[in-house]
Each structure stands twice: as C-alpha cells, then as structure tokens.
Structure 1
Amino acid sequence: MAPLFNLMLAVLTIFVGLCLSEFPSKVRLVGGAHRCEGRVEVEVNGQWGTVCDDGWDRSDVAVVCRELSCGAAIHTPRGASYQPPASEEQRVLIQGVECSGMEDKLAQCTLHDDVFDCSHEEDAGAQCEKFPSKVRLVGGAHRCEGRVEVEVNGQWGTVCDDGWDRSDVAVVCRELNCGAAIHTPRGASYQPPASEEQRVLIQGVECSGMEDTLAQCMLHGDVSDCSHEEDAGAQCENPDSDLLFVPETVRLVDGSGSCQGRVEVLHQAQWSTVCKAGWNLKASKAVCRQLGCGRALLTHTCCNKSTQGKGPIWMGKMSCSGQEANLQDCPFSRLENNCTHGEDTWIECEDPFELRLVGGDTSCSGRLEVLHKGSWGSVCDDSWGEKEDQVVCKQLGCGKPLSPSPKARKSYGPGAGHIWLDDVACSGKELSLEFCRHRLWGYHDCTHEEDVGLICSE
C-alpha cells in the first residue's frame, strides 16, 4: 500500500507543479486603438491564448492595466469585437479569473484554466487609460530638443531619467516628426525648469527604439524616488533648421507697460519686428506666458505709424499650440509674404497681478493699490476683513496683519483715479490676491473714502 501511496503522491506533486507552471507569464492587449486597450491574451508555456469572459469584471481589468503600466481601468469590452479576431488555432487558455483588483499581476489572481465551454465569441477585453497621450520637448533651442514632457489624463508632467537611453530618445524623435536621435541630455538643464507643481509622471521607460510613439513602450508610472533634477531630456535633429532661424528671445515695445506692445524677436544680436501674416492668438499666448504676463487678450496689426517698427522684419510663420512655455518651443517655417511695417504684430496680455501699500511709514503699511492695464488703482473695503489682510501681507512678504482701528486704516488718505476691485473675498490661504473672488475689474459702488488700508507686522 505504501509504494502505491508514494506513487500517487509523486504524481500529484507533478500535477500541481504543472498547474502552477501553466499560469500566465505575460499579458498583452491586442486589436485596440493603443497598447492599453484590446482583447486580453496571456502566454502560458510559450503559447499565446485568450481568456474567457466568464465573471470578467472591472477588478480583473484593473490588474491587467496595472501589469501593463497603463492608467486606470475604464471599461470591460468584449474581446471578440477587436480586429483581427483570434484565430481558430489560438486556444482559450483560461476559463475564469477572480481578482480583488489589488494584485500587481494577473498571475497573482485565482485563475481557472479548465476550459470546457468557452469560444472566442466570449473572449475577455480590457480598456485602460492611454498612457501617455501626447509628448513634447520644452526649453530647447528648437521644437526637437528639450525636457521631455508627457500628457496623462489632461495633465502635463515630466519623465524620470532612470534607464533613459538613446532608444527612448529615438522614439520621442519619431513621434514628434523630428530627425534622428542625437543625444540624451539632462532635462533639468533646460530653462525655465519644471515647476514644483508639475509632477514626475513616469518613473522609467523601456523602448526597443522601433516604436512609433512613447505610449507603445513599457512605461512604469509608479513614481517613487525621482525629482525634477532627474528629468529626462532629448535632442533630435531639427528638420526645420534649413527653413528659418529660431528667435533667441522676445519683447513687447511701445506699449503702456511690459505686457503689451509691438512684438520683436532677437536673433544674432539684432531685434526684428514680426509680420502679422505669420502670427495668431496661440503664438501670443506663448509670448505672454514667456514674459510672465497673464493670458493673451488681443492680437492685431499696429494701427498707426507711431507704433510701427523700423529695420528688419522677421519673416516667420509660427505654428504654436498655445501651450508652449516660450516662443522658441513653437514649430516654425518661412513666411512667403512681402510684409511692411504696417503689418507689424501688436499684442496685449493681462498685466501681472501686482499690488503695493502707499502712504504708510514703511512699504508694509498704507493704502492698498493694485495694478491693472498699466494703471494703479485702489480697492474698496466692502466685505474686506482679516482674511483679506492675511493674503496681502503674505503676498508682499510683510509678515502677518496687525489689527489697527478703522480710524487708523483711514489715516493713509483716499486714493485718486480708478477703484479697481470691490467685494473681495479670500479664504486666507491664497498666495496672491488674484486667487480671491471679486467683482469684475473696475465694477464697484464705492468712493475713495472706502479705500482699503492695512498694516502688516514686518
């Protein structure tokens, strides 16, 4: 009896080992619009097959999305709807899947591989968030060089340079319709640097170098230990280099402030005006952002000789998306047009939100004034209180607000000219008064006897 028992135990051990070895070593999605969507296929002992959709749900899809370094699970489509369909020679390898949704791999779920009543009409499918959807290079000398940034779910962020190499750069260059990969520079060296609010969205990238887009590579989105000092960069050949020189910097001149005026670009130590025929509002947005102004308000040609430029005219056509950090990031080409200075480009941006305290003993006390459209104006004290004082003192770097009597507040005298803001309401946590609620600029029901005044501690 003992030899028979030992034989049965040995057979059982071999059987269990075979069952464990049959769990999938790889997973892929086939037939979808991108690598994060399609019919679910698994590899078992070197053979690719499908998964039956018996009991297939969002928790199972979540695990597949995680294993493939895609985004969140979106949908559980029928795998049979993806083209081309699975061939008749391809087996259904798994009858049922039971995942909690927290597993890192499908192989960690409970898998039932005794397939007995499932056809390819019942193949399981998965749809995950595409990761990433767009790629751009920021801060370089032209559109084919700079810090690598990707868009994931509408948010732009950077890529960690862990393992970043020439194969990865080659894919970025191909996706952006640039030339060959030249170099893998440090993205942190490009100016302006990525802001602290901008997240590092991808920890690691593994490309063969033959993919058409970065989204087709293996991407590891679980960022654990990467800062903007480790941002990845890319340098590609610039196919536009023989079309037009790139402006080195930009300025607005002859306006009432630094945020409006005639557009001029600098190249090889020479300032040139810009022809309106090659310009649009999206290009204006890039300039306003580069100059630290607010949103672009207006783009038109200079209207009289006093605002027209002199000297060379930059014959470039800018193809900006409106999201660029500066004008140098925009694609460009030569403008086939005989422009005159009567067609010089003029733009107006919102003024940067500046404020000051005037009439006090120091720069941290006095009547509050804000800058709008190049003019300083006062603020009405309707609804004004301690929280609004906190924001102003913080924005000016003047410590905390003191609490003088209303009479002391009025000792700075009434202002003159515009009353720009009224009914300002802050939570006290804002870093700038521009983030507080208020009426439209210039709309109020106040006199200068109601101008806000305050005293800060420093």
Structure 2
Amino acid sequence: MSDMSHTQAGHCVGHSKVDKTAKNAIESTQGWISGDITYTEVRIRLVDQRSGLERVNAKSGLVEVLWGSEWRSVCDDYWTYEAANVVCRQLRFLGFGATPILRGFFNADEPERYWLDDVKCEGYESSLFDCPHRGWGVDNCGQTERAGVQCLNESDIDVRIADDGDIFYLSGAVELRMGNEWRSLCCNHWTSEDAKVACRELGHSAEGAITIEAKAENGTNYWFDHVNCDGDEENLSACTYLRSTECKKGVRAGVTCLAAPSSGAFEN
C-alpha cells in the first residue's frame, strides 16, 4: 500500500459538504405566475429528435415543458451537465452522469417556441423549474437551439476497487463505470459517509470504512470531484455528484473496507 495514505483534515475531507436537504427544501416560485393567471400543472418530457413525438420511458431526447396547456421546448443557452442531471433526476433516472444535448432540432412547419431560456442549474435542484431562467416564454433562441439530455439508470453504473488488500480487508482507489468506461473519483470532498456507501455496495461492512488517498497515475481520468452521500444509501448511484473531468488535487478517492462477517474471511 505504498501509494495509499489515510485521509487527513485539509485533504479528502477538508471541505464542508453541501446540505442536500436544505437545498431541495428551497422552493422557487419564479415564473409560476403570468399576469392574472396562475398555472399549477407544470410537467416535463423527452421527445424524439426526428419526429418530435414523446419518448415514454426513454433515457434520451429533447426536453419539452408543459406550462398551462402548451408544450414548448427549452433553449440550450447555458445548458450544462448540471441542468441535464436535474432533468434526469426529475424524470426518475439517475441524478448524475447525464450528458447535455445541444443544438437539437427537428423539421417542423412552424418556428420553434420555447418556454425556458438561460436556465442556470447548480445540479442539486429537484426540479428544472427551481433553476433560475429568463422568465417563462422569454427567449432569444432560434430553430436549432433545443436542449436535450442523455440520462443513465442503475444498469449503466458499476463500482470496483483497484485492490491492494487481502482476505481481511479491501483497500484501493474507487473506480466507477458509466456506460462502457471506467474512471476514478477525485479525492476532493470524499468523506467517511461516501466510503461507507462504497463498501456497502461492494458487499463489505460499512462499519469501520476508512477514506484513503490513492495516488493518481499519469493519464488518470475522472468522472466527478464532489461525491455527496448521507452514508445510509445502498449504492453510490443513490448519492449526488458534481461532474468534473479534472481533479486539481490530482489524488483519487479510495477506501479501506473490512471484510463482511458473512464472507467467512475471519474464520479459522
């Protein structure tokens, strides 16, 4: 374990974590009132990029919003990974690992109409309608600026450890598969709550889970630099993330897990 070290204050756990509950409890009413009319039915869906028809239970498509009685598009100005994560979470897919689709369009006889433009999400919002925007029906977008998303579900995610342990413990860098690609997690904001969830998902005991720093090799690629678990989740896919392909600290997040009692690893 020459390339591993226990986490100290100022390293992996040196930053305060975001309070998800507090953030999600903030309710925004921006845009819900137009003139003397208050709209109570606001929905979101994905539509096919070619036909414009709704894609029920599909993981990808262009985003449309129902406000009042009319479906309109969302403009892709300021459309980011954070906004895509919010949309996917709202559609009951995973709230991380989503990919934004830009410049979406489909052939239509009428000019495109948008409900939302300049949507600026932080990534923790429970609804796209909690994110700041220009105002309902206010936009400066053209026919080919429709925003879309590519979402993930649990079958698209897997976790493994670059193992440096033995039969009594598992220790190493945490690696996450999204789609067909394995990448590391950055050590920034990596805490004992995150380590507990990683160990639990891997079939080891969550009790006694320890965060460690794992040395990054040349060319190491990262998915996220901010994992935010409460500690009682069954898997890392239930936690929230901030997406980043960079890691300023240059250290991978890792864990040391004790073998689960049921594994028989402690038997003589």
Q: TM-score, normalised by structure 1?
A: 0.31
**Greater RCO (Cα-Cα under 8 Å, separation 6 or more):** 2
Q: TM-score, normalised by structure 2?
A: 0.50
Determine which structure has more spread, i.e. the larger CA radius of gyration.
Answer: 1
